[in-house]
Amino acid sequence: MKKSEYLYLDHAATTPMREIAIKAFIDAEHEGFANSSGGHNLSRKAKNILEESREIISSIFEVAPNEIIFTSGGTEADNWSIKSLFNKGIKSNSNLVTSSIEHEAVLASAEWIKDNDFPVTFSECLNTGELDKNSFLNAVNENTIVASAMWANNETGIIQPIKELTKEVKKINSNTLFHSDVVQAVVSAKLNFHSEGIQSAAISAHKVGGPKGVGAMFISNEFKLPSMLHGGKQELERRAGTVNVAGVASFAAALQEQQNNFDDEISIMMNEKSEFEEIVKNNFKVKIIGENEKRLAHISNIQFEKVNSEVLMVDLDLNGLGVSRGSACASGAQRPSHVLEAMGIKKEYINNHLRFSFGWSTGLGEGKKAAEILLNSLEKIS
C-alpha cells in the first residue's frame, strides 16, 4: 500500500506539521539562529522572533505576553504547575486535588507529590465521562495549594465543567492555584483562560500542527511559581535553558493558522466524525462514548461488542487505517485505560475500545472511508 493511501486517524496522539509551521521553523533558524539571550545584532533578531511569537500566542488566549512561558511541551508545563509549589518549606498538610481521568503527565506528577508525603485526592468520575464535581470540591480546603482538572479528556474528548469548578474552588480557597491541562482542548475549542478562571495551563504545539518537543505554560501574573530548571535567566528568569526559537516560531505559526481557519477546520472534523459514527453505529453493535455529552470535535471513542481492541487495531493498521487504544503511553504498555476504568466501564468491555481522532489535515470523505475499513475488519474478526 502506498503511504498516501494510509488513513491517519490518530491526531490526538500527534499531528503532521503544517507547511506554514515547517516554513516558519526554517526561516527562524536562518534568521534567528543566534542565542536569543546574547547582546549582539543576531541575538536581537532571535529575540524579536521569540517575542513576536509570544505576542501571537498570548493574544490567541487573550492573556498578557509575560503570562506565556515556552516549555518543551505539555508534559513539562503540567509537571511544573503541579509540582513546583510543593517544596520543603510548606506545611505538611498542604494538599493537591486533581481528578482520576487526567493525562499521565498530571497523574504521575500527583503521585510524586504523594510520594513526598503530601495529601493528594484523585476525585471520582461520573459514568458520563465528566469528572464528579462534588467529589472534587469536597476535597478542596484551606490547605489546597493546587487544584488541577483537564479542560477536556484526551481519550474520550469529553469536556469538563472547568468554569463551575474554578468558581467554587475560589470560594473555598482564593489562594489555590487552579491548573488546567488544555493540550487536547486547544485542538478543537476556543479557550479564554482568564474568563474561565484558571491561573495556569499546559499547551502543546504538536497537537495543532506544530513541532514536537515545544509547548507553553500559561501562568497568571497573580501567581509566582518557582523555576523547575536551574541555570540561566531565560524566559523572564522563570525557565532556564537556551530557548528553542525556531520551535517557538513554528508553534506560533501553527496556532495562528489554526485560529485563522478555525471554523472551517472544526466543521470538517465534526462532519467527518459524525458521518463515521453514523455509519458505524448503523452497521455494528457499538457504544459511542459520551455520544450525548459535550465532546471535542476531533475525538471519537468507540466500544465494540465482543471485539478485542488490540486485534482490531492491528487489522485496521494492515488495512491502512491508523488509530489508537487511547493515550499513546497507555496503549504502548497495553494497560486498560484508567479513564475508562474511572468511568466505571465494566471489565469485560474495557479492552474493546478504540479512539479515532480527526485533525487539521483531515479531508472530506475520510470519515466514510474509515468506517468502511472498520466495518470490513469487524466482519472478518468478530
Ligand X SMILES: Cc1ncc(COP(=O)(O)O)c(C=O)c1O
Do residues 17 and 209 make contact, with C-beta atoms less than 8 angstroms apart?
Answer: yes
How is residue 320 written as a grid cell?
Answer: 491502512
239 near ligand X, judged by CB under 6 A:
no
- Judged by beta carbon, residue 105 or residue 343, the one nearer ligand X is 105
How is residue 263 written as a grid cell?
Answer: 471554523
**d(C-alpha 131, C-alpha 101), whole Å:** 7
**d(C-alpha 43, C-alpha 292), whole Å:** 52
- Judged by beta carbon, residue 47 or residue 353, the one nearer ligand X is 353
CB of 198 to ligand X, least distance (A): 15
215 near ligand X, judged by CB under 6 A:
yes
**d(C-alpha 357, C-alpha 157), whole Å:** 9
**d(C-alpha 187, C-alpha 373), whole Å:** 25
Q: How many residues bind ligand X (CB under 6 A)?
A: 15
204 near ligand X, judged by CB under 6 A:
yes
CB of 316 to ligand X, least distance (A): 20
Identify the residue among 10, 181, 257, 275 touching ligand X (CB under 6 A): 181
329 is known as an active-site residue: yes
103 near ligand X, judged by CB under 6 A:
yes
> Is the four-CA dihedral 32, 38, 41, 44 of positive or negative sign?
positive
Q: List binders of ligand X among 288-327 (CB under 6 A).
A: 327
Torsion of CA 257, 258, 262, 266, to 10 degrees: 140
Identify the residue among 184, 244, 303, 377 touching ligand X (CB under 6 A): 184
Torsion of CA 53, 55, 60, 62, to 10 degrees: 150
How is residue 253 written as a grid cell?
Answer: 505559526
- Judged by beta carbon, residue 31 or residue 293, the one nearer ligand X is 293
Residue tagged active-site, from 20, 22, 42, 329 = 329
Binding range to ligand X, per CB under 6 A, among 83-91, 112-120, 178-186, 193-201: 178-186
- Judged by beta carbon, residue 217 or residue 371, the one nearer ligand X is 217
Of 138, 79, 72, nearest in space to 108 by CA: 79
Residues in the site for ligand X, rule: CB under 6 A?
73-75, 78, 103, 105, 150, 154, 181, 183-184, 204, 215, 327-328
- Which residues are known catalytic residues? 329
